[in-house]
Chains A and B, each alone.
Chain A
Amino acid sequence: MKLINYIKGNRYGKEANRLERESLEDAFLQEALDGYDTVISNHVQSIERLEEKVHEQSKNKKQSKLIFYSSIAASIVLIITLGTLLLKHDKINDKQLIGKVETKIKKTEKKQEVTINKEAKKSVKEENTVENIPPPPITAPEKNIEKKSISAGVPVSSNKNEANAVLANKSVVSENRQASAGIKDETDKAIFNSVAEVSERKAMAYKPQAVASVSNATKEQLKEKQVKADKVEQKEFGKKEFSSFFMNKAKKNACGDVKASVEVEFTLNVNQYPSSFKFPKFSCEEAKREVIRILSYSPRWTIAAGEKINMKFSW
């Protein structure tokens, strides 16, 4: 007889006796039968309920295990994909930033080239058409001019083209943003800021190669540009050319009614610009000043640097 039948109430007859005799050998069964006799209730329902619970629990445990392992697997996959996406995104950002910087640099270079060409054309026109352009207010004596050139670390030039070229030649890749305050040129500032942005965002040595490559590229391009500008000005310019240049620029009636005449001696500096002026003879102070003004405004000479030149002007 099955225990469940005994629990159901089939406790009479030989079958029940067999189970009870069996319980004498089996302590577990004995105590279970005692238990059913102790509490009188519908135990069959309780047993069925318990069987269902155990079945559900074992199923849930299996499912929960499955969920646990699958969630671990899913989270690992998620972490890997997110990681790769972030890395890719970072790389794309770097590339975009570098691209932006490069385009900015290209734009500024183009602008500079345009301005250089324009100014070069202007200077050529000036030479040809003998226009009376008001000279820049350079009143500083000879010594001051020399001092300035030393302090700036770059040659002083009276020409705007020259000034642009010199500025462009300045350090573009300086990492210190404060240095940008010293750079007056807008294009230089833009390049400087964009490069500084790259260096700051990439936190130290994360992408130094990219920045370096950009800075190198700009340096080279600027050098090329300067060479171009130089080429534009590489027309012959000597005594003859300067005398005609002088006659175009010089103020008439500098010494009033008297004819102005000045004898000047000067040397060409390293950059082939007139320097170290000496005036052995001059008719009036105003005429002397006029000669200084025009000499300092002079284009680049094509005569070798360091050569002493003596000239006489009378107008």
Chain B
Amino acid sequence: MILKLKNTVLTDEELLRSYISSSNQEELGQLYTRYIPLVYGLCLKYLHHQQDAEDAVMHIYEELIEKCAKHEILNFKNWLYTVAKNHCLQLIRRTNPQFFEEISDQIVESDSLLHLLDESEDKEKEQALSMCMNLLPKEQRKCIKSFFFEESSYADIVLMTGYTLNKVKSYIQNGKRNLKNCMVETLHL
């Protein structure tokens, strides 16, 4: 109990260092428990099966016991993401060798878009943004406006628009990409 309370205060890296020095499995278990929802969700995305995802979560934990001691881990969360994703991809390759992963530009785009939106004070950028927004298709514009300006969740947008969840996500993603391209062209970045 004391260990549990103490470990909740520690950061990921502190807990990891403690585990490496003491080889106390409970510490690693504590650290991994923090990321079980993320790892499980990731596994669900790739494996599309609840039981397979659960098994994968446990296998990844076993992998961690061996790998933690071997690797120098600077950011546990990012490292765990890579390990978990690779594990899932390996599982898929075993069952389906012709698996192609969707290349998402979401990660690259999102940062720049948010950055642009954060500096909305800049009038030039604001004008360019409003112009580009008007150039977006209707569905994309609606979803982007609701999500970024009205702070509506995907579920809210689904309710408001009647689109499916996947459609909403897709409109937001594509709208973000188009908006970015437009902004770059307008501002000559």
Knowing A50-B58, A59-B26 are in contact, say whether A31-B32 is a contact too (CB < 8 A): no
Task: Provide the bound-state CA to CA distance between A49 and B55, in Å.
Answer: 11
A68 → B minimal CB distance (Å): 13
Which residues of A in the span 28-73 have a Cβ within 8 Å of any Cβ on B?
28-39, 41, 43, 46-47, 49-51, 53-55, 57-59, 61-62, 65
B111, closest chain A residue (CB):
A25
Contact indicator B37/A25 (Cβ below 8 Å): no
For A58, the chain B residues whose CB sits under 8 A away are: 25-26, 28-30
Range for the number of chain B residues in contact with chain A: 35 or more
Partner of A62 from the list B26, B40, B153, B159 (CB cut-off 8 Å) is B26
For B107, the chain A residues whose CB sits under 8 A away are: 27, 30
Knowing A25-B114, A43-B40 are in contact, say whether A12-B155 is a contact too (CB < 8 A): yes
For A43, the chain B residues whose CB sits under 8 A away are: 40-41, 44, 50
Report which residue of A20, A29, A53 has the largest number of chain B beta carbons within 10 angstroms of its beta carbon.
A20
The yes or no answer to B185 lying at the interface (CB within 8 A) is: no
B23, closest chain A residue (CB):
A65
The yes or no answer to B43 lying at the interface (CB within 8 A) is: yes
For A65, the chain B residues whose CB sits under 8 A away are: 25
B62, closest chain A residue (CB):
A57
A3, closest chain B residue (CB):
B37
Task: Provide the bound-state CA to CA distance between A28 and B39, in Å.
Answer: 8
B78 → A minimal CB distance (Å): 8
Contact indicator B29/A13 (Cβ below 8 Å): no
Range for the number of chain A residues in contact with chain B: 35 or more
Which residues of B in the span 160-189 have a Cβ within 8 Å of any Cβ on A?
165-166, 169
For B106, the chain A residues whose CB sits under 8 A away are: 24, 27, 30
Contact indicator A24/B110 (Cβ below 8 Å): yes
Knowing A46-B50, A54-B33, A54-B36 are in contact, say whether A32-B41 is a contact too (CB < 8 A): yes
Q: Which A residues are closer than 8 A to B by beta carbons?
A: 3-4, 7, 11-14, 16-18, 20-21, 24-25, 27-39, 41, 43, 46-47, 49-51, 53-55, 57-59, 61-62, 65
8 interchain pairs (CB within 8 A)? A11-B154, A12-B159, A21-B147, A27-B106, A35-B53, A37-B165, A39-B53, A54-B61
Q: Which B residues are closer than 8 A to A by beta carbons?
A: 24-26, 28-30, 32-33, 36-46, 48-50, 53-54, 57-58, 61, 65, 77-78, 80-81, 85, 104, 106-107, 110-111, 113-114, 147-148, 151-156, 159, 165-166, 169
